[in-house]
Structure 1
Amino acid sequence: MCLFGLNTSAMAQQKLTKDSIETIYIEAQKRVQQEHEVSLSVAHIEGHEIEELNIKDSTNLSMLVSNLTSSVNTAEGTPPAFSIRGVGNIDYNTSTTAPVSVYVNSIGGASSNYSAPSLFDVADVEILRGPQGTLFGRNTTGGAVLVQTRKPDFDKSAYVQAKYGNNNYSSVEGVFNYDFSRKIAARLAVKQLDYDYSTENLHESSPQPGLMQQIARISLKYEDGVQTLNLMYNKEKWDGFPNPPGNIGINSLENPGTICPPSLAGSTNCADYAGFNSGSNDFWKVKVDNDAPHTTDAQQFQLGYSRELSSSTSLKYFAGLSDSERLHSFNCDASTNRLCQGYLGLDGEAWSQELQFHFNNDFVYWISGLYLFNEKIEQNNNLDIFRDFRALTTAGPADFYYDNEIEIDSKAIFSQVDVKLSNTVSLLVGSRYTDESNQYSAKSTINVPTEVGDFTGVDVPGWSLANNIDSQSWSGKVALNFQLDQYSHSYFSISRGYKSGGYNGGFAFTEEEAKRAEYDPEHLVAYELGYKSILSNNLRLNTAIFYYDYENQQVFMNQKSEHDLTAPAQVLDNVQDSKVYGAEADVSWKALPSLTIDFGIGYLPQAEIGEFVNALGETVTGNRQPFAPKLNLNAFARYKSENSLGQLTTSVGWKYTSAIYFDQNENPYSQQKDYQLINLDISQRVAGNWQLAIWATNLFDEEYSTSIFDLSNFLQMYEDFKGQGRQFGFSVSYTWN
């Protein structure tokens, strides 16, 4: 491939000197480029970093990336929460589409149900910061996460690993690669992961929380020098019980009728509406009736095809089909009482196709394409309120059944051209037109008791509605690139991202709330100035500053009801103009021939939500975006040394995050204070093929939450979803070459 007179295929094969820093090649613009030449802030993560730091899936990637916050949100199994530079969505409902989209092997754009792929047998991951309004488009006002699984190699090799740890952690995985000829190869990768959560449930009759995940992936590759065909089928099954939430009660037991301050909330000094607390001040101990199973059965089929038409033109085609069935049960009162229980049921299917045309010569790189997407979501949701009170009264207890169907159909055309204006200056211009429709229908049924002690109740038809939402918009990017020298580059870009309107299929208790579930499109205009340089043979620096002008931002809000003891309204609504600005810097330093250190810093001094009116009729303005820390730092160090047994590799990952809010209200009760995590892996290669390792995640057992849900007006408590405590263990692996 020829790009501006440089042969990137030849460059990719260059042998670097022992002391030189690694040259990184990425595909953030759907073509192979040197990272420091791209007018975009990109974080690149190698597959070995993911393996060595025991990063299980995409929700753990913030360990290695500045200005990225990622979380399992309201327990593993619900849609995850991603925020890039303060732009994200904390909605846990299975119908949500977040402004950060996850692509696996160039296929993505679906709802958040498909945003937590397993990072098993992965080649690399790229995090694209900022709106991707041209080449990716759908659901990327915040950015995109690009995952590339390992493709078949043209050799015969295999790998097996067994890993064990505390909390009944066990993992067995294996990879078998086989080349049938010089043109055809296959790769089979399988894994079974079984683990308990570090949260200890003091309620003896509840099952131990934990999950078993089984993954199988088969890949086929055909390559003849002119065309390449990749096929992949992935099957994933989860079974277990989600991590039980903690109960942060706010009623003072010492001074009845008063509210506990945030420093005491959740302790044995405080209780919820029913007088409950866990009876322990240990962060990792809860007391929950957690007989709430979780099952996921998902599969994906992917096809990727590319063909060289001439020395300067090529075609690429990608198609993907994903199917997911899920049942996620929960206990939202986080206690042994049956005051708030339910489940989220999902049956979803998504398919996409993309056709790309590429043209390049010494002066121009032009890419144009067509994108088609369809997703169908069927939800079967249930929320049972005050069930135990049926023994006392018929007023209040109710079992809500909320079913809906959503179908999204999206079409887009896009084009981007990169033109060399001189030996040192180039201009990038891109545009995308999207036409999207969102058709939905929803209905509600309510089960209520007919007399005191009636736990069976009678079903009463609720409300039903249906509608179709259409939206169209242009998005795109303009960038000026300045080549300062062979390894230094600066750029200025203006990007416009777009996310269509739609319907949020979360719980709605009234027809009025259900109608409010419609939301309008959002737009984000980003101004970015960046500088990238390989400063020397052992030092690389990437920096960027940015300013975001957010119009009609879609914000998920957990809004208190105007009536006490009433469940909060879950609203995905548009707010007035929001502002975000900040900076980031990534440094890679080869301190010694055997020691590499990567360091990142993200800074968000301003990340405010525009003005909105909450469910109480109060006007709120200028509050900070959820999951938007002012400061976040990350580091990864890798040291290799030789000894009499073989090679010893020590890898350490570190992540610091300043305080964040978990909702739009800047509520001190739903805030995570600053915290830091450290992961460690020490591996010794023995006799060439064997490798022994000890590993640890959250080495110092840092106490932190992934989400805190405000139920203060409802049950006078906050639902606390805790992170994972310290895990440690050892692994044994063997490789055949």
Structure 2
Amino acid sequence: MTLRSSKSLALAGTCSALALAAFASPAMAQDDAAPQEAEEQSGVSTIIVTAQRREESVQDVPIAISAFNQETLEQRGIGTALEVAQFVPNLVGLNNTGLGTANAYYLRGIGNTESIATFDPPIGTYVDDIYLSRQNANNLSFFDVERVEVLRGPQGTLFGRNTTGGAVNVFLAEPGDEVAGYAEIGYGSYDRKLARASIDIPLAETFAIKLSGYWQNDDGWAKNVITGERTNENDGWGVRLGLRGELSDTARWTGSYIHTYADSANLLNFDCDPLAAQELNIPDDCDGRFVATGMTENGNFTNAFLGDLLTGRKNDFGLGNQTRMNFVSSNFEFELSPEWSVNIISGFVDIGQKFALDFADGRGLPSTSNPIPPVIGFTYGGFTIANDGEHTQYTQEIKLNGSLGDGLIDLVGGVYYFKEENRTDFGDIFSLPIVFPLPDGYPLLLADRVINNEAEAWAGYVQADVNVTDQLTLTAGIRYTDEEKTFDIRDNRNRLGGNLCIGPGQFGPSTCIDTANLSVNVTPRDAAGNPTGPAAPVAIPSKQSVGVWTPRFAINYDVSDDVLLFASATRGFKSGGWNARGTAPAELLPFAPEKAWSYEAGFKSTLFDRLLQLNVTAFWLDVGGLQTPSAFTRADGSLAFITRNFADYRNKGIEVELTAAPADGFNLFAAIGYQDDKYRLDSDAAPFDEYGIKSVGRQLSDCRAQLALGLIPNTSGADNAPDCGVGIVSPLGELAEPVRTPDWTVALGGSYDVEFGDFTFTPAMNASWRSKSEVGTSEVTLYDGDVLGPNSGNTYPANTIGLGDFIDPLSGSFSDDRWIVNASVTLSNVAGWSLVAECKNCFDEEAIESALANYGYLNSPRTWTLRAKFDF
């Protein structure tokens, strides 16, 4: 290794300490041959990004952005979109409960774990500028990726709707001018096998294609102690055809077709065998992860006594989650003049998803009456959702880039069209330990329905950068979006006449869940919330429309060629929707759009002759009408879902990103994010809304009154304090902590190239830490202290008010602080061969990532992989 200067000698000894002390994050060193690098040079290289819809150095963009190129993705072992989240300050990424193919991102506190199509994610995912509206299949496998950009904060001007928290932009590698590519195979824990390959094929001087693919299969890292099957696998395959045509000196075209299939579950699992824990004659087993549902991969929902429990294809689904996606993109770029160009960007996405998932581990849900439900292994699961979904979307954009006044004003603008159609056929089954012999139990059908919903949006946008001087730039941009959504639902159960429906296992007829029946009985009240008359039906709308302006203002000042100061104010909005998981017509309530203003100030710097990059951003985020999904256990033990615009939200914090290259082959990075957030209530809000739902302020006051009477949250009957531990009100009668917003997130690591002859040996390590947080909206966690019911005289063996100790780390919504460490060693040679040994979560740290109905969901356990790769 050759040191470049005395500055390198000084930095080599101090950068490690600086990385640990400053904890900043990456715009990591680029591969010298990577197409997005501006020029070959030593030190920290600059990545070219398109965060402002034109090519710019990441250090020149007045936006908080983390960028990762091919080399960085490989160094850190990033193989999926979810794994990027470990390295971005104030970003928490997780699989949705049950769904290994769906990512939920929480960025600066803004996120959403709901994947049903009447909800939209607030962190937009884009592939080659094509928006993916559904979370169902956004855990993309990176087998042909040039770079990833994570934009923090609202991006409502240039990227539009559903980016109140930010955007994750994935850019695929273009076909090259020469025959080149790679082939890779690997083997790892849980009998994991993988293969990846890509080849560039120039078919003419002006036209080339890229063929790429991947395949992976494993046994799954959780063992089902009831059926003997293994689950929580990550199987799948995908192929891509990339195309690039240089149509003329002033016109070029790029396009892609991608097909992917993924079979990946994220079932509730335990770190010790729950069956062994309750059987005295079975020794404890805490070596691995365990599942106790009676559902099987090859099962179905046909009962010997009741017949088919569900209608349609989903009745034959077995335990698991599968998605397939077809993705088509096209981008024509025409140079109109040396200063102006236009892009015509088209996209089509078709996603299908099939799953049958047990969210109660084949038994009951934990409660204060039954905090550790016994293992039963219900054949149809404890609480099961079977889903058959089809989702298609089409997008069309015309984007114009150029400059006016001999470079005085740089402009980007365009028009955008979005059309989405969704069909979701799904049913809910809740098993009761009655009537039929176990393990079938009594499968109670809560609902079986088909939802058809559509969204159509038009938008126009423009942003102007006024270069006042060579150093000072003023930016103003605005976008107008006109959107309409429609919602239609039909009950699949047998019709009994009128508006009554009944299905297998159902206790008597109930009102059909149909669009025509969407209403809720609301009692009229005065300004204080007192009843003034009898209840009357209020219709639930099946259409929502919104027209909204989302401006952006920024100022940036180049102190020098190496230091940029910036400040900005940006607005964003997220579409409204419907609470479609309700199991009765009156539960299918709409919720309104959420709207955000974000204010940022910071600097970006490249120091010590490019040996160090240091970027710092401070932010203040105000969100109006935050959409918050919440789930709770009903008195009958079944699971209920509710999503409302419960409150406004404020978050403020700071993010620091650092990258250092003190010597050739020596790369360090660190990252830190701090945030301080809270819900905010409207003191003028009416005590009840138009659908008879209490405001959070009224709920808080009612909860406190119930606690003063000695009632107990999250119990049942006359003892229960019904307004406590529900929604965003904690069991103690306080506003709950916002979910998945740890005060601190930290990432740090590095790599070091040791060259000997034709070989290079590269050890690499990274670690991510986040402080404690809540992952359930109501802060419901079970404790083992007995409490006496004030009215019934019953003794409850558990409570949610903090008496005693945690019953089990998985019985609630509290997530403790944790470190996750990943490491790898790579041996490569100049002939193109490389061997990699890597581990992820190397110390097998366990952490709760999510919670649903008092069950906590753990992160993935330790895994290891050996890979061999050949670049040609």
How far did 1:17 drift?
4.0
| 8 A contact 2:424–2:452 mirrored in 1 | yes
- Give the counterpart letter for 2:629 in structure 1: F
Aligned pair count reads 689
Matches within 5 A, 1:221-260: 221-223=244-246, 224-239=248-263, 242-246=265-269
Find the counterpart in structure 2 of residue 524 from structure 1.
596
Match of 1:641 in 2: 754
Q: Distance in 1 between matches of 2:652 and 2:723?
A: 29
Which blocks of at least 5 consecutive residues in structure 2 are unaligned?
1-34, 297-318, 363-376, 496-503, 517-541, 683-694, 700-720, 782-811
| TM-score, L = length of structure 2 | 0.75
> Counterparts of 1:663 and 1:142 in 2: how far apart (Å)?
19
2:322 counterpart SS class: strand
2:5 aligned residue: none
8 Å CA contact 1:447–1:457 kept in 2: the answer is: no
Q: Which of residues 134, 149, 174 in structure 2 aligns to 1:111?
A: 134
Which AA in structure 2 matches 1:627? R
Q: Which residue of 2 aligns with 1:569?
A: 640
Match of 1:511 in 2: 585
2:170 to 134, 138, 147: 147
> Does the 8 A contact of 1:594 with 1:641 survive in 2?
yes
Q: Residues of 2 paired with 1:459 and 1:211: CA distance?
A: 41
How far the C-alpha of 1:373 sits from its partner, in A, is 0.3
Alignment match, 1:178: 201
Equivalent runs, 1:187-336 vs 2, <5 Å = 187-223=210-246, 224-239=248-263, 242-246=265-269, 280=285, 284-291=289-296, 292-335=319-362, 336=377
In the alignment, structure 1 residue 353 sits paired with structure 2 residue 396: yes
- Once residues 343 and 12 of structure 1 are traced to their aligned partners in structure 2, the CA distance between those partners, rounded to angstroms, is 44
Which residue number in structure 2 is paired with residue 341 of structure 1? 384
Going from structure 1 to structure 2, the CA distance change for 1:12 and 1:343 (only over 3 Å counts) comes to closer
Deviations 1:38-62 (A, max 9, x none): 1110001112222343323212211
Match of 2:626 in 1: 553
**Match of 1:91, SS?**
coil
Q: Deviations over 1:692-725 (max 9, x none)?
A: 1111111111112332212xxxxxxx33332211
CA distance in 2, matches of 1:384, 1:652: 45
- CA shift for structure 1 position 12: 7.0
Q: CA deviation at 1:481?
A: 1.0
Is 2:779 the partner of 1:707?
Answer: no
> Would you say the 8 A contact 2:219–2:230 is kept in 1?
no
Q: Please state how far the C-alpha of 1:320 moved relative to its aligned partner.
A: 0.6
**2:823 aligned residue:** 680
The letter of the residue matching 1:550 is V
Contact 2:95 2:266 in 1 (8 A): no
Q: Is the 8 A contact 2:606 2:614 kept in 1?
A: yes
Q: Which amino acid in structure 2 is aligned with residue 531 of structure 1? A: F
C-alpha separation in 2, matches of 1:687 and 1:38 = 36
2: CA distance, partners of 1:177 / 1:551 = 48
Which residue type is aligned with residue 817 of structure 2?
A: D
For 2:152 and 2:283, locate their aligned partners in 1 and report how far apart those are by CA, in whole Å: 41
Q: Distance in 1 between matches of 2:427 and 2:436?
A: 21
Whole-angstrom distance in 2 between the partners of 1:394 and 1:640? 60
Matched-pair contact (CA < 8 Å) for 1:101–1:109:
yes
559, 567, 579: which is aligned to 1:484?
559
Quote the Cα distance in structure 1 between the aligned partners of 2:106 and 2:465: 29
In 1, Cα distance between equivalents of 2:454 and 2:507: 33
Aligned-partner Cα distance in 2 for 1:674–1:58 = 23
Residue equivalent to 2:745: 632
Which residue of the partner structure matches residue 408 of structure 1? 455
Residue identity matched to 1:675: R
Partner of 1:260: none
Q: Shift in Å at residue 628 of structure 1?
A: 1.0
Partner of 2:512: 462
Distance in 2 of aligned mates of 1:463 and 1:14: 58
Task: Rate the CA distance shift 1:49–1:390 in 2: closer, same or farther, 3 A.
Answer: farther
1:721 counterpart (845, 851, 857): 857
CA contact (8 A) 2:101 2:138 kept: no
TM-aligned CA distance change 1:193 to 1:637, over 3 Å: same
Aligned equivalents of 1:282 and 1:709: distance in 2? 24
Equivalent residue runs for 1:372-451 within 5 Å: 372-386=417-431, 388-391=433-436, 397-445=444-492
For residue 307 of structure 1, give the secondary structure of its aligned residue in structure 2. Answer: strand
SS in 1 for 2:844: coil
Q: For residues 411-458 of structure 1, give each alpha carbon's deviation from its aligned partner in whole angstroms, at most 9, with x where no partner exists.
A: 11111000012232111001010111110111335589xxxxx86999
* CA distance in structure 2 between the partners assigned to 1:211 and 1:491 by the alignment: 42
The aligned amino acid for 2:473 is S
Cα 1:362–1:208 shift into 2, 3 Å: closer
Structure 1 residues 664 and 324: alpha-carbon distance in aligned structure 2, compared to 1, 3 A threshold: same
Q: CA deviation at 1:575?
A: 2.3
Contact 2:820 2:841 in 1 (8 A): yes
State the shift of 1:532 in Å.
0.8
**Residue aligning to 2:52:** 29
* Pick aligned residue for 2:779 from 658, 661, 666: 666
Q: 1:58: which partner in 2?
A: 81
Partners of 1:679 and 1:216 lie apart in 2 by 28
Preserved contact between residue 166 and residue 727 of structure 1 (Cα < 8 Å): yes
Which stretch has the larger CA shift, 360-369 or 125-134?
360-369
Cα pair distance change 1:525/1:23, threshold 3 Å: same
Aligned counterpart, 1:654: 767
- Partner residue of 1:5? none
Question: Shift in Å at residue 201 of structure 1?
Answer: 2.5
Cα distance between partner residues in 2 of 1:571 and 1:733: 48
Specify the code of the residue in structure 2 equivalent to 1:89.
N
CA shift in 2, pair 1:305/1:458, >3 Å: farther
TM-aligned CA deviation for residue 265 of structure 1 = 14
1:580-619 paired onto structure 2 within 5 Å: 580-608=651-679, 610=681, 613=696, 616-617=722-723
Q: Which of the two has higher C-alpha Rg?
A: 2
* Cα pair distance change 1:114/1:96, threshold 3 Å: farther
Rate the CA distance shift 1:544–1:309 in 2: closer, same or farther, 3 A: same
TM-superposed CA distance for 1:333, in Å, is 1.6
TM-score by length of 1: 0.88
* Counterpart-to-counterpart distance in 2, 1:719 and 1:265: 15
The answer (yes or no) to whether the contact 2:97–2:266 under 8 Å persists in 1 is no
Cα displacement (A) at 1:204: 3.8
* More strand per residue: 1
How far is the alpha carbon of 1:559 from its aligned partner? 3.7
Distance in 1 (alpha carbons) for counterparts of 2:750 and 2:411: 38
Change (3 A) 1:671 1:637: same
Give the letter for the 2:455 counterpart: I
Partner of 2:529: none
Tell me whether 619-628 or 221-230 shows the greater mean CA deviation: 619-628
CA contact (8 A) 1:340 1:384 kept: yes
Q: CA deviation at 1:300?
A: 0.6
Alpha-carbon shift at residue 193 of structure 1 (Å): 0.9
CA displacement, residues 217-239 of structure 1 (integer Å, 9 cap, x when unaligned): 00010124411201100001123
The equivalent residue for 1:134 is 157
Contact in 1 for aligned 2:236/2:263 (Cα 8 Å): yes
> Partners in 2 of 1:556 and 1:278 — Cα distance?
40
Do the aligned partners of residues 356 and 114 (structure 1) sit closer, same or farther apart at CA in structure 2, a change above 3 Å counting? farther
Structure 1 contact 553–575 (Cα < 8 Å) conserved: yes
One-letter code aligned to 1:362: G
| C-alpha contact 2:472 2:555 (8 A) present in aligned 1 | yes
Take 2:452 and 2:321, find their aligned partners in 1: how far apart are those partners?
Answer: 21
**Counterpart residue type for residue 522 of structure 1:** E
Conserved 8 A contact 1:78-1:93: no
Q: Which moved more, 1:84-93 or 1:193-202?
A: 193-202
- 1:87 equivalent to 2:110? Answer yes
Counterpart secondary structure, 1:306: strand
The separation in 2 between residues aligned to 1:547 and 1:175, in whole angstroms, is 43
